Amino acid sequence: DSGVTQTPKHLITATGQRVTLRCSPRSGDLSVYWYQQSLDQGLQFLIQYYNGEERAKGNILERFSAQQFPDLHSELNLSSLELGDSALYFCASSVGNYGGNEQFFGPGTRLTVL
């Protein structure tokens, strides 16, 4: 158990809908990261927050947004869902802010868009 929790574990929804994925980092970690794992794209970095502020951005679609709250948990919002958004979404956390800080991953949320 990495100490990072994600809810829900599974999510099934329809195209055009909006969903929210939630992540709680390890105790003491200030950085939260979101990654998408799909068969065709592999593991892709989406976005990083550090202590409430956006820190780095990857291949995140405009339909997707995230935030980190004062209690350090984070939410990833996915809207206008398409079939291709079906994937495993991982949250990770680390103590610090930049390269060299080990990231610990949650169990993931499996999103299925029908």
Partner 1 sequence: GEDVEQSLFLSVREGDSSVINCTYTDSSSTYLYWYKQEPGAGLQLLTYIFSNMDMKQDQRLTVLLNKKDKHLSLRIADTQTGDSAIYFCAESRIIKAAGNKLTFGGGTRVLVKP
Please report, as ranges, the residues that interact with partner 1 according to CB under 8 A: 2, 4, 31, 33, 35, 42-45, 48, 50, 55-56, 58, 90, 92, 94, 96-108
Residue number with CB closer to partner 1 (15 or 108) = 108
Residue number with CB closer to partner 1 (14 or 33) = 33
C-alpha to C-alpha distances, 98 to 4, 15, 32, 82, nearest whole angstrom: 19, 36, 12, 32
Query: Taking the complex as a whole, how short is the minimal distance between the CB of residue 102 and partner 1, in angstroms?
Result: 6
Residue number with CB closer to partner 1 (25 or 106) = 106
Token match 């990072």: residue?
4
Phi, psi of 5 (to 5 degrees): -115, 145
